[in-house]
Amino acid sequence: MTGARVAVVTGAARGIGQAVCVGLAERGVDVVAVDLVEPFETVGLVQARGRKALGLTGDVADPEQVARLGEEITAGMGRCDILVNNAGIYPMANIWKLEFDAWRKVLSVNLDSQFLMAKAVLHHMRDAQWGRIVNITSNSIGLGLPAQAHYLASKMGVIGFTRGLANDVARFGITVNAVGPTLSRTPGVAESPIDEQALAHVAQLQAIKRPGEATDVVGMICFLASDEAAFITGQTIMADGGLVRL
């Protein structure tokens, strides 16, 4: 391989996605930051670490927009070695209030997007005979929290997709794994009904009794995206302070 590796990270304007972009840049990887909103800040953080950064806007749940994003990734960087499917939403609704549109939206953003983005960049990895895909799930699949039927369906779907995709692409030197954060202090959580009490409650269930931070999953994601993780695929790893144990 010549030149730096290129990672595409979705949901990269803030929160966990932004932290992953910074972590990858610190490990010598160039970054394409994709988000619904212009990821200015993330691009600046990556460039400040001496790496190339490309910021792209688009909805990763929309097939036409993903096709356009795929072309922009190819035009801007010419390659994609690593894909971190991080974009996700977590609106809460009890089943009695959960409408079909809201169900479809969560499945679409959290799960369809991972399929669409993988399809858009896998040809680069196949050509290079090397690739890493890391899909973000959640440790809440192992908890008994209410009002999350749509979210848990999507995040269990991520685990199934990860297992299936790993089988199809292994022969091309591509690995696919899922990482599950715990409830963490991110802008998305700050905007949600989840309060300090809920953060403290989940933290108390963990072996390491503090709420997660966006940076807590970065080490695991960067490891799975590295050469060293070449023999690990199809796995789900909870980087969650020791709450859910698979």
- Annotated catalytic residues are 151
Length of the chain: 246
Q: Coil, strand, or helix at residue 107?
A: helix
Q: Is 78 in the site for ligand NAD (CB under 6 A)?
A: no
Cβ proximity to ligand NAD, 130 vs 194, nearer residue? 194
Residue showing tokens 């300090």: 196
Cβ proximity to ligand NAD, 89 vs 128, nearer residue? 89
CB-count exposure of residue 196 (10 Å: 0-12, 13-18, 19+)? exposed
- Closest distance of CB 116 from ligand NAD, Å: 10
Q: Is 36 in the site for ligand NAD (CB under 6 A)?
A: yes
Q: Is 76 in the site for ligand NAD (CB under 6 A)?
A: no
Cβ proximity to ligand NAD, 6 vs 214, nearer residue? 214
DSSP line for 3-60 = S--EEEEES-SSHHHHHHHHHHHHTT-EEEEEESS--HHHHHHHHTTT--EEEEE--T
Q: Considering only residues 9, 25, 60, 66, which one is a binding residue for ligand NAD as defined by CB under 6 A?
A: 60
Segment near ligand NAD (CB under 6 A); pick from 123-131, 162-170, 187-195, 222-230: 187-195
How many residues sit close enough to ligand NAD to count as binding (CB under 6 A)? 29
Q: Is 10 in the site for ligand NAD (CB under 6 A)?
A: yes
Cβ atoms 183, 194 nearer than 8 A: yes
Q: Is 61 in the site for ligand NAD (CB under 6 A)?
A: yes
Of 143-162, binders to ligand NAD (CB under 6 A) are none
Cβ proximity to ligand NAD, 87 vs 130, nearer residue? 87
> Distance between CA atoms of 112 and 106, rounded to whole angstroms?
9
Q: Is 233 in the site for ligand NAD (CB under 6 A)?
A: no
Segment near ligand NAD (CB under 6 A); pick from 47-55, 84-92, 124-132, 168-176: 84-92
DSSP line for 130-196 = -EEEEEE--GGGGS--SS-HHHHHHHHHHHHHHHHHHHHHGGGTEEEEEEEE-SEE-HHHHHSS--H
DSSP-assigned letter for residue 112: I
Q: Coil, strand, or helix at residue 213?
A: strand
Of 127-146, binders to ligand NAD (CB under 6 A) are 136, 138
Of 86-115, binders to ligand NAD (CB under 6 A) are 86-90, 109
- Closest distance of CB 217 from ligand NAD, Å: 8
> Distance between CA atoms of 206 and 78, rounded to whole angstroms?
42
Q: Which residues bind to ligand NAD, rule: CB under 6 A?
A: 10-11, 13-17, 35-37, 59-61, 86-90, 109, 136, 138, 181, 183-184, 186-189, 214
